[in-house]
Amino acid sequence: MKRIPKWNLFINFMSKRKIRNQLYSVYFIAMVIPILVVGIVLTLNNYRMLTEYHKDLLNADNVRIKNLLFEFTAQVKNYSENIISDEAIRTTLDTEYESTENFRRNVDKISLLDGYRNSYLEISDAYIYCDNPTLVSYKQFQNVTDEIKEQDWYQRALQQSAAFWTSIPKENASGIPYYQLSLIRQVPLWDSDYNAVLVVRVSDDYLRSCIENTSYYTYLSVGTEDIFYSSKRSEAGSPMPVEIDYNQNYFSFTGDIALEDRKCLTTVSTLNTYQTTSKIYICTINRDAHYEILEIVQLCLAIIGFSILIPGVLIFFFAHYVSARMNLLRQEMHKASQQDYELISEIRGKDEISQVYSDLQVMVEKIKENEAEIYEAKIKDQILESKQLEIDYKMLASQINPHFLYNTLETIRMKAFTAGDKEVAGAIKLLGKSMRYVLENTGTERSTLAKELEHVEAYLQIQKLRFEDRFDAKVIMGEGVNPEEITLLPLLLQPVVENSMVHGLEGIEIGGLIQIDIYLGNTPHVSDLDGEEKEALSEKERMLYIDITDNGEGMDAENLENLQRAIQTKDMGRTQSIGLYNINQRLKLLYGEEYALRIDSKTGRGTRVRLRIPAKQCINYNEQ
């Protein structure tokens, strides 16, 4: 029997399946299996390396804390040696005093016990407890009470001469209990019937400031005692979260533990304290290690899935479209998407592909027709909008406040009735001058600032005839402002001044003031500028500012908001703020939306109306 080669068996197997299934089989064998094998191996290796990395970091932090504690305990131990070997201290403890004053004088001569405050930052306090009945509790010398005698650390100190470490509970200023690491040792009093015990407490705050500079949790305990130091203060006084074999001379552990229903990476080491019999166990915990490792593992698995999914999607979606006709259809559709409508005449065939291409041709023809119609409509809209803007501008520019004419004629009538002909003649002259300026500039787009100010001056003189000393007015020109060279829209200033007269100074009988400040944007001026305008001083484009300010009663925030809304809203039936509305619309039409009127007012502090005009559109200005 002839043996068939394995390759031929594979070919025969594949040839009996549909092309779509053949592509699926090749995809699974050539891509899915290799990617899974390689990805799983790399993921497991990354998991192992990340675990070792976090263990190394955790061990390094544990060693750091151990070195800090060794240095602390060694310094405290050396300090205690100086105390117990001090002859003056031992003599003070062994002496029987006839009076308390004698004892206190001896204690005041001893400075060694106070020296730790300047030399040892790690020491919180140091006390000597002595059962000499002639001693009283004074400074660092404490008389042994019955409560002290019952303490385990005191009994242990009397039973052994070697120094040892323990944690002593204590309360802070707020009454919250905490545990303080303390060195306990017996003070030798040779040939004496009295006993003395030295207690040196380590500063908890200093210890915490040295240890807590990482994101790890740290637990410290002495021997079999409960935790005296914890990164989370509330856990002090609790048992160690790791089971420790206290019989070992040096206990160490690195691994995982369950803490608060969370898997945590932990390392524990032992510190044999300097020249004492005590052991301090240091437990360092990384609560986020496994979470971080899991994130990276999930990322690796996501990459594996992505690497498998994307080729699979391409296989599934493009298995039926591997043909020249499909590529040709795609090419023509791409040309249409790029607005290239020069397509070939047809794709031969009568199946769905040719039908789709026929529909594409119909769609392209309709798009071309629609674009032509849209283009024509845009041109018509632009022409219509331009004409509408021109009509709106001319209508706004031609509106004159009828109240001004009425008040002027009323003033002339009253003066003619009560005064002589000269004053009436002067009033008529001013009125004629004002009306001539209005009529000459109706429908025009430019006037000089000097003419505008003359028009305002004529208006103010007419109002002076009516109100006499009720108000005063002044114009302040900033540096570099030449009214003859500045051009702007006509009939801008007088309506604003009129608004200040009618509304701003309405309740003022005498002492009213209308001030017009004209200055360039980068010229310092006495008028106050807000922060936004001060920043504009350094901008390249300069502005012409015209501030019209009155010292009237001003407006509260609600009325100011209503006024701002009124000058922005078109209302054909409005009876108030017509002049300000017209000026605001004319400014926006000519210079742009950002150059609208700005009104600032506060109750009791008057009102300021600001006009802001681009300098390049109103003066011939060349930057130096």
CATH of the domain at 610: 3.30.565.10
CA–CA–CA angle 246, 248, 250 (5° rounding):
105
Query: What CATH code is carried by the domain that includes residue 73?
Result: 3.30.450.20
Residue 490 lies in a domain: yes
Same structural domain, 597 and 455: yes
Residue 584 lies in a domain: yes
Task: Place 1 in a pLDDT band, splitting at 50, 70 and 90.
Answer: very low
- Rounded alpha-carbon distances, angstroms, from residue 302 to 29, 296, 309, 317, 376: 20, 10, 10, 22, 53
Q: Please give the residue that has the higher pLDDT: either 95 or 506.
A: 95
Tokens at residue 176, please? 């919250």
Same structural domain, 110 and 247: yes
- Residue 443 makes CB contacts below 8 A (sequence gap 6+) with 394, 397, 398
Closest CA to 102 of 136, 143, 152: 136
Per the structure, the complete domain to which residue 213 belongs is given by: 55-289
127-160 per-position pLDDT tens digit: 999 988 888 888 889 999 988 999 999 999 999 8
Residue 359 has pLDDT above 90, yes or no: no
Residue 254 lies in a domain: yes
Residue 55 has pLDDT above 80, yes or no: yes
Q: Calculate what percentage of the chain has a pLDDT beyond 90.
A: 18
Task: Place 542 in a pLDDT band, splitting at 50, 70 and 90.
Answer: confident
Task: Place 512 in a pLDDT band, splitting at 50, 70 and 90.
Answer: confident
> What is the structure's pLDDT at 222?
93
Residue 50 lies in a domain: no
- Residue 45 makes CB contacts below 8 A (sequence gap 6+) with none
Span of 197-211, 216-230, 569-583 with lowest mean pLDDT: 569-583
> What is the structure's pLDDT at 19?
58
Task: Place 536 in a pLDDT band, splitting at 50, 70 and 90.
Answer: very low
260-279 per-position pLDDT tens digit: 888 999 999 999 998 888 99
Asked whether the whole model's pTM tops 0.75, one would answer no
> What is the structure's pLDDT at 507?
75
Residue 439 has pLDDT above 50, yes or no: yes
Same structural domain, 177 and 193: yes
169-215 per-position pLDDT tens digit: 887 767 777 888 999 999 988 878 889 999 999 988 888 888 887 78
Closest CA to 189 of 262, 258, 273, 131: 131
Q: Which single residue is written with the structure tokens 């990276």?
A: 296
Tokens at residue 87, please? 């002859």
Residue 420 has pLDDT above 70, yes or no: no
Task: Tell which of 393, 419, 448 closes a domain.
Answer: 393
> What is the structure's pLDDT at 532?
52
Same structural domain, 370 and 435: no
In angstroms, the CA 494 to CA 430 distance is: 14
Residue 306 lies in a domain: no
> What is the structure's pLDDT at 552?
85
Residue 41 lies in a domain: no
- Tell me the average pLDDT across 82-100: 87
Same structural domain, 285 and 331: no
Would residue 5 be called left, alpha or beta, if left means φ above 0 and alpha means ψ between -120 and 50 degrees? beta
DSSP letter assigned to residue 541: S
Return the biggest CA–CA distance within the chain.
Answer: 145
Closest CA to 266 of 239, 285, 292: 285
Same structural domain, 119 and 253: yes
> What is the structure's pLDDT at 413?
57
Residue 572 has pLDDT above 90, yes or no: no
Q: How many residues appear in the chain?
A: 624
- Tell me the average pLDDT across 379-400: 58
Same structural domain, 453 and 514: yes
Residue 554 lies in a domain: yes
How many CB atoms neighbour CB 298 within 10 A? 11
Same structural domain, 109 and 231: yes
In angstroms, the CA 48 to CA 41 distance is: 11
Q: Which residue type, as a one-letter code, is found at position 115? A: G
Q: Strand locations in 568-624, DSSP E?
A: 598-601, 607-614
Overall domain count for the chain: 3
Same structural domain, 164 and 229: yes
CA–CA–CA angle 164, 166, 171 (5° rounding):
145
Q: Calculate what percentage of the chain has a pLDDT beyond 70.
A: 76
Closest CA to 276 of 127, 77, 444: 77
